[in-house]
């Protein structure tokens, strides 16, 4: 690793089965881009890869392998030669791969054939900074200059790219689907309808959650905490919604409007600060059917 970029983390399918002890699952924020990066190389679902925030990554290969990059629109160069995003390509020993700064979107995913090899912690290599778990050394740290990422030599036949209909345009305002539920029945009807009619902006965002900015909403009162899941849309007292992401806490006491469609987490993860958002309702059945189709295509066990 010559240059680690703003924040580069090892991620896999996530750390499952530990939320009862307060450990978040982690995993890639943009599941769509991560799944395609592994799929281009023939890697199984959840094979460890790099999540690169904002770009500015540079590494040198010590063996012959193949690499795929998907996600944020950023310049990709191999020894100065421009390469296509959302595609796979060979990388030979001694060659340098550089990812420039993101022009649109936030996170890119870099996979290698066979995946990066490191010791899992609690069944996963997913890097969780807050809890100090996973990553290259098991202590939950972002990659640093000088780190060596282990992988196996690989030979594939021919380049390949993601079909253009599946490549998002991160420059456009995001329309995200919401499964209404949780405490939604406790909201005043006009307030709940207003959530879908108003324009929102991303005020703050990290791997734990995204705080929105817009006309404040009035939340119903609730005096207990409950378990929360990825995509839960909370409404704190200031009336500005928060959408929980992969490194979220496992319990929360704010009222819930509902949950973001699982496949729309990917789009939200690529929204920088001040990016405009709108929301629309989706039925639970439709969300489940689409998610099953997604999992089936990418071979999730």
Give pLDDT tens digits for 192-219.
999 999 999 999 999 999 999 999 999 8
Residue 31 lies in a domain: yes
pLDDT at residue number 222: 74
Read off the pLDDT of each residue in 76-89 and give the average, rounded to a whole number. Answer: 97
Residue 42 lies in a domain: yes
Q: Is 41 in the same domain as 138?
A: yes
Q: Is 200 in the same domain as 133?
A: no
Q: What is the dihedral of CA 9, 111, 231, 163, to 10 degrees?
A: 150
Give the three-state DSSP class for 206. coil
pLDDT at residue number 88: 98
pLDDT at residue number 301: 87
Cross-strand bridge partners of residue 277: 174, 200
Which of residues 130, 147, 166 is at a domain's end? 166
Residue 191 corresponds to which tokens in the numbers above? 């307030």
Q: Is 11 in the same domain as 159?
A: yes
Q: Is 263 in the same domain as 228?
A: yes
Q: Structure pTM?
A: 0.96
Read off the pLDDT of each residue in 84-106 and give the average, rounded to a whole number. Answer: 97
Positions of E strands within 7-103: 7-11, 49-53, 55-60, 65-73, 76-78, 81-83, 87-91, 96-101
What gap in Å lies between CA 203 and CA 164, rounded to an integer? Answer: 30
pLDDT at 294 over 80: yes
pLDDT at residue number 253: 87
pLDDT at 101 over 90: yes
Q: Is 93 in the same domain as 231?
A: no
Read off the pLDDT of each residue in 253-262 and give the average, rounded to a whole number. Answer: 95
Give the three-state DSSP class for 271. coil
Percent with pLDDT over 70 in the chain: 100
Read off the pLDDT of each residue in 73-78 and give the average, rounded to a whole number. Answer: 98
Handedness of CA 157, 31, 279, 103 (dihedral sign): negative
Residue 267 lies in a domain: yes
Q: Is 153 in the same domain as 196?
A: no
Q: Is 16 in the same domain as 124?
A: yes
Which of residues 113, 144, 166 is at a domain's end? 166
Residue 192 lies in a domain: yes
The mean pLDDT value of the chain amounts to: 95
Q: Is 81 in the same domain as 112?
A: yes
What gap in Å lies between CA 218 and CA 129, rounded to an integer? Answer: 33
CB 112 within 8 A of CB 151: yes
Q: How many other CB atoms are found less than 10 A from the CB of residue 248?
A: 24
Q: Is 254 in the same domain as 142?
A: no
Report the domain count for the chain: 2
pLDDT at 116 over 90: yes
Q: 6 exposed, middle or buried (CB, 10 Å; 0-12, 13-18, 19+)?
A: middle
pLDDT at 220 over 90: no
Residue 292 lies in a domain: yes
Q: Angle 29-287-205 (CA atoms, 0-180°, nearest 5)?
A: 25
Q: How many other CB atoms are found less than 10 A from the CB of residue 222?
A: 15
Overall residue count recorded for the chain in this entry: 301
Q: Is 49 in the same domain as 151?
A: yes
Place of tokens 């006491």: 253
pLDDT at residue number 223: 67
Q: Is 77 in the same domain as 205?
A: no
pLDDT at 293 over 90: yes
Domain encompassing residue 189: 174-298
Percent with pLDDT over 90 in the chain: 89
Summarised one tens digit per residue, pLDDT across range 157-188 is: 889 999 999 999 999 899 999 999 988 888 88
Summarised one tens digit per residue, pLDDT across range 127-152 is: 999 999 999 999 999 999 999 999 99
Residue bearing the bigger pLDDT, 111 or 186: 111
**pLDDT band at 263, cuts 50/70/90?**
very high
pLDDT at residue number 201: 97
In sequence order, which residues have a C-beta less than 8 Å from that of residue 131 and are 6 or more positions away?
23, 24, 140
Read off the pLDDT of each residue in 66-84 and give the average, rounded to a whole number. Answer: 97
pLDDT at residue number 224: 79
Q: Is 12 in the same domain as 135?
A: yes
**pLDDT band at 114, cuts 50/70/90?**
very high
Which of residues 166, 196, 218 is at a domain's end? 166
CB 38 within 8 A of CB 146: no
What gap in Å lies between CA 204 and CA 86, rounded to an integer? Answer: 27
């Amino acid at each position: 690793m010559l240059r680690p970029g703003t924040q580069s983390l090892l991620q896999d399918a996530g750390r499952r089965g530990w939320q009862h002890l307060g450990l978040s699952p982690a995993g890639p924020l943009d599941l769509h881009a991560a799944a395609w990066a592994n799929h281009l190389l023939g890697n199984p679902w959840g094979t460890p890869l790099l999540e690169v925030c904002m770009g500015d990554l540079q590494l040198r290969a010590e063996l012959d392998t193949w690499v795929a990059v998907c996600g944020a629109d950023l310049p990709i160069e191999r020894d100065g030669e421009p390469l296509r995003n959302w595609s796979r390509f060979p990388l030979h020993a001694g060659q340098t791969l550089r990812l420039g700064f993101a022009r649109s979107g936030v996170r890119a995913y870099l996979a290698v054939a066979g995946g990066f090899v490191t010791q899992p912690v609690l069944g996963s290599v997913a890097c969780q900074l807050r809890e100090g778990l996973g990553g290259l050394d098991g202590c939950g740290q972002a990659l640093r200059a000088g780190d060596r990422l282990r992988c196996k030599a690989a030979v594939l036949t021919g380049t390949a790219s993601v079909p253009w209909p599946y490549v998002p345009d991160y420059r456009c305002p995001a329309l995200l689907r919401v499964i209404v539920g949780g405490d939604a029945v406790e909201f005043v009807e006009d307030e709940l309808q207003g959530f879908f009619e108003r324009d929102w902006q991303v005020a703050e965002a990290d791997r734990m959650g995204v705080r929105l900015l817009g006309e404040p909403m009035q939340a119903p009162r609730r005096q207990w905490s409950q378990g929360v899941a990825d995509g839960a849309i909370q409404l704190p007292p200031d009336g500005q919604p928060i959408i929980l992401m992969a490194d979220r806490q496992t319990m929360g006491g704010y009222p819930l409007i509902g949950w973001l469609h699982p496949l729309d987490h990917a789009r939200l993860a690529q929204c920088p600060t001040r990016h405009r958002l709108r929301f629309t309702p989706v039925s639970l059945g439709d969300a489940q059917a689409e998610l099953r189709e997604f999992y089936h295509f990418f071979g999730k066990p």
